[in-house]
Amino acid sequence: MNNKNKSMDNINIGMIGLGYIASGVFSLIQEQKDYLAQKIRKNINITRIAERNLDKIDSSFVKKFREIKITDNADDVIRDENIDIVVELIGGIEPAYDYVYRALDSGKYVVTANKDLIANKGAELFEVAEKNNVDILFEASVGGGIPIIGPLKSSLASNNIYKIVGILNGTTNYILTRMEKDNLSFDDALKKAQELGYAEKANPSSDIEGYDAACKLAILSTIAFNSRVKLDDVYKEGITGILPDDIKNAMDMGYRIKLLAVGVEDSGTINVRVHPALIPVGHILASIEDTFNAVYIYGNYVGEIMSYGRGAGDRPTASSVAGDILKIARNFDRKKKGKIYGCSCFENKRFRLIDETESKFYILMDVLDRPGVLAKIAEVFGKNRVSINSMVQKQTSRGKSARLIFITHKVVNRNLSRSIKEMSELDVVNKVLSVIRVEDLN
């Protein structure tokens, strides 16, 4: 420690986990130690680290940081009365929930990047934090290094936020970008993402099935709409069914396909959904490529604003974790603890089910190439109150079939689902290949 910092108060940090993200946080705090002290006039000291797998900690690390107590028992961090802030970076719901709950219950502040934990157990954690007059901060749980949770809870708090649209998963955004740019199939683009470390090789389902983005949307919607949204409240649809033809057809019509996280509050009801969507190429979200994330927010006073940046990685995520630590440390007083933000859920709004919502749709189907096909399809659409905005027919190489591409007007999802089911049973329809929502984002 620099001599000029010795007179400053010390804020003691206990870390649970020393994996990829945690190592980034550790490095940031150690490398920026004097700089951080000058900014907040306090020393940030990591005094304990709990890592279940001690074998992965190099002996040179232990020798270099002798002053830090290293253990394989998280209880050693939670029970240490000299620790002011516990930083949980192990991920998952259990045992993270148990550790974080007990840390808050013992009067410690907590910082986490754990989206699964906040999306599923946020209510319980805020309750125990409030009971003990402390707080839990989780900026890094959504969007990696993108500041969005803090702004929603502070500088945008005076607004009625009525809509959130985000590209919240870098893996799926990378896959869709490569499908478009390199003319790849979904499977080939996924393989490339796995080779580069953007997607898990063993089980990438959390990303490609929309679970990861849904967790993040639940967190953002809870804050924005002042009403608790859990993961199970979010409609989830992944990108595994996206075809190269869908990508090309969308571009031909002036759209790009993105995995969108959409939260809407209207007249006291909330609609939260994650799904692929065609969005206009002229909208700024359409320009977000590869592993980058973006969150687009609609407020009644601020208007439309967007936050953009790298949504994952050790350094961007460490930036957000450290930012939360500094928020707590800046005005920290052991004798007079208090909330930084607290929970803003003062309402209990009704959820609007996906079947009740209205959307435009892109529909791709393979049909027989003969007279009367369109009449039969139009009859089904008309019976189910589905209005068509445009239709394009493309011949296939087989000659006896054709591809029909429809864009509908806004239709109740329930009606569209019923019409697709009936369409699939027509003798003139070989297969309904794709059904994807169209978002105008206005």
Q: Which residues are catalytic?
A: 216
Cα-Cα end-to-end distance for the chain:
53
Task: State the Cα–Cα distance between residues 61 and 82, nearest whole angstrom.
Answer: 23
Task: State the Cα–Cα distance between residues 29 and 35, nearest whole angstrom.
Answer: 9
Sign of CA dihedral 234, 238, 241, 246: positive
Sign of CA dihedral 404, 410, 414, 419: negative
Q: b/e string for 335-365 if b means 16 or more Cβ within 10 A?
A: eebeebbebbbeeebeebebeebebbbbbbb
If you search the block for the tokens 């595994």, which residue do you land on? 240
Strand duo 235-236 + 269-280: pairing: parallel
Strand duo 161-167 + 401-408: pairing: unpaired
CB 142 within 8 A of CB 164: no
For the CA atoms of 77, 78, 81, 84, the dihedral, rounded to the nearest 10 degrees, stands at: 80
Task: State the Cα–Cα distance between residues 294 and 221, nearest whole angstrom.
Answer: 15
286: DSSP letter: G
Show the 3-state SS of 123-145: HHHHHHHHHCCCCEECHHHCCCC
Q: Is the peptide bond before 316 cis (omega within 30 degrees of 0)?
A: no
Q: Looking at the DSSP assignment, which residues form a beta bridge with residue 227?
A: 347
CB 129 within 8 A of CB 104: yes
Task: State the Cα–Cα distance between residues 257 and 356, nearest whole angstrom.
Answer: 23
Task: State the Cα–Cα distance between residues 94 and 117, nearest whole angstrom.
Answer: 8
Task: State the Cα–Cα distance between residues 271 and 357, nearest whole angstrom.
Answer: 8
